[in-house]
């Protein structure tokens, strides 16, 4: 038969083991929740960064296309002709630093390009028949 003294250490041991298990369970839960929060924050930061890059890319494309829209307006005003294309394009290029060259392509065939130096091979190129470009 056990005495009161022999039961007391067993109770103390069970109490310590139970306290340890409860503490370990709580600590595991807190760490797990903290990891979930960290992952959610990392995803949010990655999403924000991706959105920033997408907006910067969109602005760059829109800026580059604005030169095309300006030339298109001049061609429409000239009823399909732009007699002073070289002068207009030369003056426009400094305002569009992301654009290396401007070309005039009636019917999809490049007829004029500014600057001509380094772009001579593009004259006569039919963009509409090129498989890499014809969809655009």
Give the pLDDT score at 70.
Answer: 87
Which residues does the chain have with pLDDT short of 50? Answer: none
Give the pLDDT score at 65.
Answer: 83
Give the pLDDT score at 1.
Answer: 52
Give the pLDDT score at 17.
Answer: 93
What is the distance between the alpha carbons of residues 61 and 98, in angstroms, rounded to a whole number? 9
110-115 contacts, C-beta under 8 A, 24 or more apart: 112/85, 112/86, 114/85, 114/86, 114/89, 114/90, 115/90
């Amino acid at each position: 038969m056990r005495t009161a003294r022999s039961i007391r250490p067993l109770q103390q041991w069970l109490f310590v083991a139970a306290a340890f298990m409860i503490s370990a369970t709580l600590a595991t839960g807190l760490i797990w929740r903290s990891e979930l929060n960290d992952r959610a924050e990392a995803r949010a930061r990655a999403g924000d960064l991706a959105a920033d890059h997408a907006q910067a890319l969109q602005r760059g494309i829109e800026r580059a296309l604005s030169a095309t829209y300006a030339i298109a307006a001049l061609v429409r005003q000239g009823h399909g002709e732009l007699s002073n294309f070289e002068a207009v394009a030369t003056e426009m290029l400094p305002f569009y630093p992301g654009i290396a060259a401007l070309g005039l392509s009636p019917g999809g065939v490049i007829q004029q390009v500014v600057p001509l130096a380094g772009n001579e091979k593009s004259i006569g190129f039919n963009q509409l028949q090129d498989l890499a470009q014809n969809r655009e």
